[in-house]
Structure 1
């Protein structure tokens, strides 16, 4: 039954934050250092998790994104950061069946400025400046989100809402066998009706000579919102027997209610991704990464496959 609702689309802010597109970590520039990080990401999906259902589409949706992150060390412990970018959502028709007799409107190519992030990050502990070998690096970040200028209908490159976020980052190089770990726990609050979100990230890395291989997972737990199509699918509303006229005049009033009063950016969205990365430095101290990510479970979210390349370019000012 969910085919009638798929044209309401998704928000891709979760996609952008589920990659290394705008990722920070516990390690940060020292005083008067500037890290410049350009990132290019290509993602696609041809299926999605629609509440407790799973939909397979007739076309691929492709997203191409370019972003730039700047991180500047005000002191050895305090860092300011800014992330901006631009994205492109490809032309697609999700449903085109029975020789064109069953279709939904084609979505044209769309471009837009992404949601921007700005914040301050404080390094609580520094493992490289501690007398304790077990000490990890911990950083706390507070920041804001400025919505982009993309069209939210029927699919969007973000949630279309301003907000604030708090992030706790952890990193630890174990100093044996080339092993180490990275982690993040974040809380994001945005304008209504966009739900609040809890995000996590955890990964292990392995250094082999000058190469680094990273394997981890990243995800989101929505803290509010409603199911993909109908809030009455959830208790206690599913106990109400509400009759809505099918046509009046020639328009499904229930579809209009969901479209106008239950926008896509008000849905609860959960996702869990697995990702792997491969990085290598050069002789100038720059670091280059190629990474791949795939959604293995979700709720009101597309099943994304993502590949990207990133560079971290440090400058001493």
Structure 2
């Protein structure tokens, strides 16, 4: 993997695009092969039943969530470790609903695996969107498309003919459901947070943006490399059980001033330079210059919008216990090209 050192973050040395290898099965290989062979037909059946039949039936939100939990249950994704900022364990039921994403709110989720979208759908039933690195608009997609996105090559710009819309318009269209955004725009191996899309800046004023981090044990069910279907299915279906660690931060209010912003631009700049690596700041400052010829571009972001993105990125990094990266979608495109050439050889 030394040839991929150029795709390591300069500040931390972390490589967010390399796949996490599955531990050798060893003497457990017969058991794991048996589990895989038993689960695979059942997994295909429950997935096909939901996406071809049940999601089109009038079974209500509760019925759809129960069906999605069946999909999660086949590979034994049972142990859900959920923590919410500001809420002690065991007291979540006694808290106000404002602690969790709900209708009218926005979920800014980490993006590492197809399980991310299935879990969010089973819990919050959101409207899924696809974000792009330098666009304030998002593409409205279905749950199935969100799952396929986790296996798709990275894309800097929306494909030709793609209809995009800002979050404020989408929120008015679906007032009774939260909106899920994957602001990193492409999958990683969960070891870092990529620069966030300015699409979050398209949220209406005073909208609540909930950073949500999802991490897995074992960690090899992530899909940072496109089209890794076989590797993912083997890692998912051959293990006895899987654990999801879910962390939800306090809501970031869109349009609200960031803490300490009244101290002036010089103080804000000094704070950011002490918090982030120079390569991340370079990426952030160049957002308006990159991709300036496509529709829906971010343009020059205001200080308050940059501060809001920093708050969300900080929260995702803190929840996942990782660092923010200077590498983005463009770097992942280069990584995928090199990875594919290596695989062909």
- TM-score in terms of structure 1 length: 0.26
Higher relative contact order (CA 8 A, sep 6+): 2
TM-score normalised over the length of structure 2: 0.25
Structure with higher helix content: 2
Rg: which structure is higher?
A: 1
Q: Which has the higher strand share?
A: 1
